[in-house]
Structure 1
Amino acid sequence: MLKAEYEHAGSDEILSTFEVPLKFVEAEEPAAQPADDVAYTVNVHLAGDTTYSAGSIFCITLPSNPTTGYDWQVINGKEILRGGEAIYVPDAAPEGIYGVGGVDQFWFTPEKPGDYKITLKYMRSWEGEDKAAVVFSQTIHVVEDKDPYQVNGPKTTYKYDSFNINPAAGEQVKIVVDKQLKKDGCSWTAADTNGLIIANYGDNPAVWLVTANKPGDYLFKAEYKKEGDKTAVSSVEIPLKFV
């Protein structure tokens, strides 16, 4: 019970009192929350039922700041790059503020089935490839288009939110598939292969925290399919390099 008294300052005369009952209970353990100390996040937006099909369009978006003298150079994959160069999109900035940076968008369209290696290097052109600050590399596996009559096929985008795309061993990478495909009986599953440690982020089946205990090149792969099916409706492959 909490009891309080109201009186004039400097006087012993009590003008009024009130009492408030209090009940103390044992505190509950807080619910466990997923760790947010990630090196970077990859947001994947899927469109259509196939991730890589001939004639489809996909985009890789990477942070960039040309005021530093660095920009992303396409080392491999120029033959499927739309427009022949990246599209720079600056971040919003207060009037009169410069150098806040933005993103480079690389839009690709593989017209034929096969394997395509994409290599991007964040570098100063006058310093050469060997002194690149960051290297992005991914192999795209392209299959025959299910619908050869579709125009400008489905668009899949991969957006990286940090330059730190080569985290240290033990650091976490967050992978988010931000569009849920609606197929009866299908769900996302990620394979724990090649030493990757993969955990779902909270209750969301399409968000993962991924890490590795040892440095090396790894491939994260997740598939959207029915349990027991050999063929996936859609899939995501993301190369990871831990240093």
Structure 2
Amino acid sequence: MQAQPVLSRWASIVVALLALSILPGLAAAQTATPTITLDASANGGSTTIVPGAVFAVSLAENPSTGYTWQLQPLGEVVVGVIGDRFVPESGDLRLGAGGRRVITFAALAPGTETLILRRLRSGEVTAAPSDTFSVTITVEPRTDGGY
């Protein structure tokens, strides 16, 4: 009868240690500094990166107007979102102040993905967007032997 609680305790310890070993990697990915930042000038363009590269899309936004940039669903497993945040302009924390929507991505695998963002009011997914942004990302295999 004693073996069951001891086994459960060891299983709990192993699970906790595994979770703790994964957390630093997730935190590092979410705080990774982008190697490329794409802004409104990249709209309609394209860029090429390698697997493992971190890049960001940074677009002007003022959520107090009700309009926010919304990423359309990704089709391929070429890039993945690792961060999405609003950054107030010049540290201005006043209510209603504008800023930038910064969505950070990691290149996951070789291929091509078109990122499409639409500026919409919350809940109005079928309405015409007030603005759109798109950029085609090509992830090419590394030539240096890395992944």
- Asked if TM exceeds 0.5, the reply is yes
Residue of structure 1 equivalent to 2:90: 92
CA contact (8 A) 1:76 1:120 kept: no
What's the TM-score once normalised by structure 1's chain length? Answer: 0.37
Is 1:107 the counterpart of 2:104? The answer is yes
Is 1:131 the counterpart of 2:128? The answer is yes
Distance 1:60 1:129, change over 3 A: farther
Q: Which has the higher strand share?
A: 1
- Amino acid of the structure 2 residue aligned with 1:69: G
CA contact (8 A) 1:66 1:101 kept: yes
Distance 1:106 1:148 in 2: 29
Q: Which has the higher helix share?
A: 2
What's the TM-score once normalised by structure 2's chain length? Answer: 0.58
Distance 1:41 1:138, change over 3 A: closer
Higher relative contact order (CA 8 A, sep 6+): 2
Shift, 1:51, TM fit: 4.4
Query: Can you list the C-alpha shifts for 1:173-203, whole angstroms capped at 9, x where unaligned?
Result: xxxxxxxxxxxxxxxxxxxxxxxxxxxxxxx
1:46-195 alignment to 2 at 5 Å?
51-77=48-74, 80-83=79-82, 86-92=84-90, 97-149=94-146
Q: Gaps spanning 5+ residues in structure 1: where?
A: 1-39, 44-49, 151-243
Distance 2:70 2:92 in 1: 29
Distance 1:75 1:61, change over 3 A: same
Shift, 1:77, TM fit: 3.0
Distance 1:125 1:94 in 2: 23
**Percent of residue pairs identical:** 29
Partner SS for 1:128: coil
- Amino acid of the structure 1 residue aligned with 2:85: I
Aligned length: 103
- Amino acid of the structure 2 residue aligned with 1:82: V
CA contact (8 A) 1:72 1:122 kept: yes
Shift, 1:90, TM fit: 0.6
Distance 2:73 2:125 in 1: 15
Shift, 1:42, TM fit: 3.1
Distance 1:111 1:87 in 2: 21
Shift, 1:148, TM fit: 4.8
1:26-65 alignment to 2 at 5 Å?
42=41, 51-65=48-62
Distance 2:127 2:142 in 1: 37
- Amino acid of the structure 1 residue aligned with 2:109: K
Shift, 1:121, TM fit: 0.6
Distance 2:74 2:140 in 1: 17
Q: Gaps spanning 5+ residues in structure 2: where?
A: 1-38
Shift, 1:143, TM fit: 0.4
